[in-house]
A = this chain, B = another copy of it.
Amino acid sequence: MTTGRVTLPSEENFASETERIAQLWGADAIRNSDGTQLDDEVKALGKKIYSAYFPVRGHNEWIRPRLDEVPQIYLLTDRALAVDARLDIPLMDSFYSEQLRPNRSADPHRYWEVVDRTTGQVVDESLWDLDAKQDTVHVRAVVPMHEYTVTFLALIIWDPVEMYNHLTNNWGDREHEIPFDIRNSDTRRFVFDTFRKWLADNPDTDVVRFTTFFYQFTLVFDQSHREKIVDWFGYGATVSPGALDEFERVKGYRLRPEDFVDEGSYNSTFRIPGRAQRDWIEFISDFVRSNVAQMVEDTHKAGKEAMMFLGDQWIGTEPYREGFERLGLDAVVGSVGDGVTLRMIADITGVKYTEGRFLPYFFPDTFHEGNDPSLAALDNWRKARRAILRSPIDRMGYGGYLSLADKFPTFIDTVSSITDEFRQIHDMTGSQPAASDLTVGIVNSWGTLRTWMAFTVAHALPNQQTEPYYGLLEALSGMRVKVVFLSFEDVLEKGVSPDIDVLVNAGPANTSFSGGDIWQNPRLVTVVRSWVRLGGGFLGLGEPTATAWQGRFFQLADVLGVDEERYQTLSIDKYFPNEENRNFILEDLDPSSVIDFGQPLINIYPINEQVHILRASNGAVQLAANDYGEGRAVYIAGLPYSATNARLLERSLFYAAHREKAYRIWSSSNPECEVAVFPASGNYCIVNNTSVRQRTTVRLPDGSSCDFVLEPSAITWQSIQ
């Protein structure tokens, strides 16, 4: 049993059990969870003490008298159909009135917008009025049978995270925590004064765990108290009359309400970002960061470390935006849902250490009679472990009620093994990432700013639409490749770096991830074509490079060898070359096996008969390889995460890079097992990514191979000969 790198949650009246479990898990730090306090005996254990700190909630006495200083958000009403010349548009019909309230005091005619959604035109402000008592906008001179919306500024009067916990746990009439916005100078002063006082009052705290800072990601509930809008990257709740006016002063132009509600998409990361969205992110981030830096400075002055939670009110901190290191944060901690979210934490630079909060959270939803939470713990650990081997987080921990977890001895034992294994990984690797054989560059509209954040709507919750793309990242998170994120602007300015082996463009058509009409930019396609022709690899997933232009839908159809029929060229015969079953990419697959490509893309076809069709179904290509000059391209229709699909991707990348020989060294015959190699430490390991026993054969650099039997979830370490 080893010690260190582990943070344990504790709570009131739980000192001796805390000490026992801390020893079992080798914890060297103790934290309180949301709503719990640590016993003095626990504080005296000699562990580092983390204290959660919530800068902008928990002080209703301050904010209640000044409700205009809560965070605000632009909301778009439902569309209302005009039947005659007058139209009433109720504001709150589809919003939760305990969370949101129209901001009636900031002049609606200045800050709101009524839009004719049939024409897209803004209705002149002289033609509408707010009935503040009814929360209804009356519009005159409307055109019958046109649909209208109101975009209105709303006050967020219930902290969305606390609201979520409150509703989920049925907290009844417990007072709602009201958030506040530090854009207002009095409130900002209050926040800092309160924090400084708290620092002074908490001498035992070693680490201030900011949970989090100032602006919550977009989370809006509907009239039935259900989630209505969720965007983990959403800047929706950063707006206010003051911020809008300040933006105009700083940036030289004024944003419209429409710039925020964006036709109802609320600036989803899937939208192709325009100047307004990019400028707003920068504007808010500058503001958030200067205040974070101040809080960190205060923390350090008090002799404590500053740790940021990557979640909740993380908006504006932008850990992958240039200059994050200047905030002075000591650490970032985040929830580990899978390999992608592990990497999202672990790949952050500019802090001294990173920490993952693993699942399950010690809450009654998982810790109840009849359930074995150790299964969830192992599942979470196996997903994270692949990624840790490629990019180690420094610490791990858990959250929730330890007293609840303590009722499940198997769980306590399982986490003992996990934490030991975590420390062993650090010991065996010198905390270095495993060797990577390739560099993969993912190009989209966001580039580095959304590193490991592509294809996400809600944190670690891929859905039917996102999973064929999210699976790419999840597979890469634990793969023996280096991953870099590039924006189209990067490529336009600097070309494709020779360090990159395979360039990836992935996503549904007309989204920020595939890029939309940026592919009509001749420079972009020529740069990529020329790079591939000279030997680069290109991998397209879903609808890569898609925009309808000059008779092509995939603008790099020539590189990919396939295009998508959009019912414009049905008169042109499509001839499919025979499907090939013998290709390096397919070598681990049974020819009769069905590959899960996710939601079907129905009309992908070969543009010539030279392309290698590796899989097709119902007349649509699902997997293809194409030679292009000295380079190669691979097309994959979709890639929900699975071991099979991760292997398919790994082989596709090595194939596209012409690195089949390198692939064989350190390969695992069984896709459910992966090998990670640490040349500096002289070790390699094999992990079993499943809950059942697996056998695999690993090929060694000298051409020999070695057979392994791995117990469920096992990791085994070997010396490099």
Interface residues of A (CB under 8 A from B): 79, 81, 83, 115, 117-120, 143-147, 218, 222, 226-231, 234, 262-266, 268, 270-271, 457, 463-466, 507-511, 522, 525-527, 529-530, 533, 548-552, 558, 565-573, 575, 599-600, 602-603, 618-619
Contact = CB atoms under 8 A, between A and B. Distances in A.
A509 to B, nearest CB: 8
Given A264-B569, A266-B572, A268-B570, 18 more contacts: A115-B550, A118-B525, A143-B526, A145-B530, A145-B533, A147-B558, A229-B571, A230-B571, A230-B573, A265-B551, A265-B568, A268-B569, A457-B570, A465-B570, A507-B567, A508-B566, A510-B567, A510-B568
B602 A81 contact: no
A550 B599 CA distance: 26
B117 A551 contact: yes
Given A117-B550, A119-B522, A566-B510, A227 B145 contact: no
Contacts of A602: 599-600
Contacts of A264: 551, 569, 572
A567 to B, nearest CB: 4
A573 B522 contact: no
Contacts of A509: 567
A605 to B, nearest CB: 10
The copy count of this chain in the complex is 2
Contact of A573 (B143, B227, B558): B227
Given A263-B551, A529-B145, A570 B270 contact: yes
Contacts of A550: 115, 117-118, 120, 263
A117 B231 CA distance: 38
A147 B526 CA distance: 10
A-B CB proximity, top 6 nearest: A263-B551, A145-B526, A264-B551, A231-B571, A508-B567, A145-B529
8 contacts: A145-B526, A226-B573, A266-B571, A457-B571, A464-B618, A465-B570, A510-B566, A510-B568
B146 A522 contact: yes
The interface residues of chain A, by DSSP majority, are classed as: loop
Given A79-B558, A264-B551, A229 B573 contact: yes
A146 B527 CA distance: 10
B573 A465 contact: no
Given A464-B618, A464-B619, A573-B226, A568 B268 contact: yes
A147 B557 CA distance: 11
Contacts of A575: 226
A147 B558 CA distance: 9
A432 to B, nearest CB: 37
A639 B145 CA distance: 30
Contact of A234 (B218, B571, B619): B571
A118 B570 contact: no
A111 to B, nearest CB: 20
Nearest to A567: B508
Contacts of A566: 508, 510
Contacts of A526: 118, 143-146
Contacts of A266: 571-572
B599 A618 contact: yes
Contacts of A262: 551
Contacts of A525: 118, 145
Contacts of A227: 573
A165 to B, nearest CB: 19
Given A226-B573, A464-B619, A573-B230, A511 B143 contact: no
Contacts of A463: 570
A271 B568 contact: yes
Nearest to A458: B571
Contacts of A571: 218, 229-231, 234, 265-266, 268, 457
Contact of A568 (B270, B529, B558, B565): B270
Nearest to A543: B567
A575 B566 CA distance: 29
Contacts of A83: 533
A264 B569 CA distance: 7
A190 B576 CA distance: 45
Nearest to A508: B567
A228 to B, nearest CB: 6
A529 B81 contact: yes
A549 B115 CA distance: 13
Contacts of A145: 525-527, 529-530, 533
Contact of A270 (B265, B552, B567, B603): B567
A265 B569 contact: yes
B619 A229 contact: no
A70 to B, nearest CB: 22
A228 B79 contact: no
A265 B549 CA distance: 12
